[in-house]
Each structure stands twice: as C-alpha cells, then as structure tokens.
Structure 1
C-alpha cells in the first residue's frame, strides 16, 4: 500500500532533517510502502487466482483514513515510520491480503501480528546506533490521507552488485477498496 504524494513529501522533509551518519543506509522514496502481506516468490501460474482473490479482498474493504505517525525499529537493523488512524481497517486489509494469497496457493511464512510500518533506513552493521534518528523521527505526525486502493507490488532486487543499489518496486495490480 502506497502513501499519498503529500505524505511522501512530509516524510521526505522529516528524513532530511534527521541526523545523518554512516551507520544507516536510507531507503529511497520509491520504496516507501506498507507491506500488508509478504508473499516472497509467486509463481506466474498463481497470479490470475491471486489477482482474483485480491480484487475480492478489496471489494470487501471500505476506504479508511491513515497518516504516518511516529517511528520505531526492528532490532538494531531497521528504522521505520509507523501509522495512525484507521489501524483496525489496515490490519483487516492485511489479514484479507494474507488470506487471499494463501487461498491462491501462495506459500506464506508463519503468520504474525501485523505491525504497520514503512521502512526508511537499514543499519549497515549490527551495532549501529539508531537512537539519534529514532529520537528525531519519533514525534513525526503526517497529514491524513484516504487509503482507497489495494496494490500488489513486485520487488525487483538488485542484481548489479553495486554497493548501495536499492530494490525497485513495481505495482503489478491495483484494486479499489469498495466495501462498506
């Protein structure tokens, strides 16, 4: 799920104002998204069924408000921005996306409670000090936007071997949220 253009602009300003150092590798704006259900490799023969089931999940989900909010981290390796607003609706959409993938025959990793987050930086090493950036971004409050689309995004991982190269993300399907 992609944040609005305005939300990205606000986050860009907040990230630019955060302390920069060599401990972190900042993710590019093109990669800023909320993963609802990580599907790993999906066989091409599963895609038609997956598209059908994601369309059904979107049809059962109503649009909802969301805003970027606060910051957190996973261990000492990833720094992220959280979300606020329609979190129950967001979690339900994540559950529906996960169920759609499973029903389409996509092998899914072990189910865990969904933590809404948008990754903004990754540590270059295990003993990186995330605290200065975490402190700078913890009070971040974005402007709300209306989530009204469920997107299937493909990650194209770097293949060149060039240090610092980022994955490219490609929307391969999108369905409007039309539920009530």
Structure 2
C-alpha cells in the first residue's frame, strides 16, 4: 500500500487558506488540478509502496517517534512553486517550530528505514501544503504572487499521522487520489 507520514492542519486553518486560494485562483490558469482542502497535509516522509507485512513495524516506530516529539505551533504562510508543475503554500512557525518540524520529519524517515520502508530522501525537506498540480507546464508565478502575503493563524500540530494514498484507476479526468488515515499518535515529547 502507498503510505506517507504527515501532520494535518485543523479545519479552521484549512478553511482560512481555502478562502485565500479561492480568491487568488479566480481567473487563473485552467489546466490546474486543485487539491481538496480536506486532503491538505504537511508530508513528513513519503514511503511509497509498503508491503503489508511491514506496516505494523512502521506503526510501532512512528508511535515511538511521536512520543519523543512535542506538539508544534505552525502556520501557513506565503506560497511558492516547484517549477511550473506544483503550486504550494508554505508552512512555518515561530522558532523553534521549523527546526522541530524538520526533526519530526527526520524521525518519520528514520522510522521508515528501520521498518524496511525507506522514505524518498531525494530532496531537502521543505514543509508545504500542495494546493494544485499542473497538467503540463503552467505559468504559476502570478498565483504565487497573489498568495505571497498570506499569513494564516497559528495552529497546533498535535499528532503524527500515517496516511494511505490510493491513486485513481478509472482514468476519469480530474479524479484525485483518495487519502485514508490509517493511524495517528499524539506528539507528547
């Protein structure tokens, strides 16, 4: 099964961002697949396909990691893009929250390695919420500019989550992956 570890903003933070994104997207590029706000999350570690027999060990190790890390005070702030394919909103917090978030991501990656489900470690960790993906190259700079000054309210990340992502198989244009929360652990460190 296709898995990732994440923290998820609460409904109020997602709604605040949704309103800002709706206003910014008005009249924007048409070739974007917008992520449903219910699926907005901050990925800590993406494991990809994990064999069923490794999931219990991964859960045990993620639970241990959660108990070693404190809750985090985070906020959504600004926007950016990965090339002209992905539009994102940044995630930050007052010091030392960004460093603590990076350490939590490192712990989630280590849990995956030790459980035999190594995370994709190809990029420097950049906490964000994916807002939209482009079909082909789309000039995203105007949207980034419209969202650049956004600064959402502070919210508490209080749990580490393991989420299953099921990719669409129907071939229906616009169909999105389905996300299912498999397990969560409170951050209590």
When normalised by structure 1's length, the TM-score is 0.95
Please give the secondary structure, in 1, of the residue aligned with 2:49. coil
Whole-Å Cα distance in 2 between the matches of residues 110 and 63 of structure 1? 24
**Alpha-carbon distance in 2 for matches of 1:108, 1:95:** 10
Q: Is the 8 A contact 1:23 1:129 kept in 2?
A: no
- Scaled by the length of structure 2, the TM-score of the pair is 0.91
Q: 1:113: how far off?
A: 1.9
Aligned length: 178
Deviation at 1:111, TM superposition (A): 4.5
1:138-157 Cα shifts (integer Å, max 9, x gaps): 11111001111000011011
* CA RMSD in angstroms, aligned pairs only: 1.1
Q: 1:79 aligns with which of 73, 77, 87?
A: 87
Residue 15 of structure 2: which of 2, 5, 9 is its match? 9
Q: Given the superposition, is the C-alpha separation of residues 109 and 84 from structure 1 closer, same or farther in structure 2, using an over 3 Å criterion? A: closer
Task: State the match for 1:171 in structure 2.
Answer: 181
Please, which runs of 5 or more residues in structure 2 have no aligned partner? 1-6
Q: Specify the alignment match of 1:67 in structure 2.
A: 75
Is residue 61 of structure 2 the alignment partner of residue 53 of structure 1?
yes
Q: In 2, distance between residues paired with 1:110 and 1:81?
A: 21
Pairing 1:1-180 to 2, within 5 Å after superposition: 1-19=7-25, 20-85=28-93, 86-126=97-137, 128-179=138-189
- Distance, in Å, in 2 between the alignment partners of 1:47 and 1:17 is 40
Q: In the TM superposition, what is the alpha-carbon distance from 1:23 to its structure 2 partner? A: 3.0
After TM superposition, give the deviation of residue 76 of structure 1 in Å.
Answer: 1.0
CA drift of 1:112 comes to: 3.1
Q: Deviations over 1:103-145 (max 9, x none)?
A: 001133345321001100111112x110121111111111001
Distance 1:167 1:31 in 2: 9
Structure 1: 5+ residue stretches without partners: none
Contact 1:27–1:119 (CA<8 Å) still a contact in 2?
yes
More strand by proportion, 1 or 2?
2
- How much does 1:25 deviate? 1.8
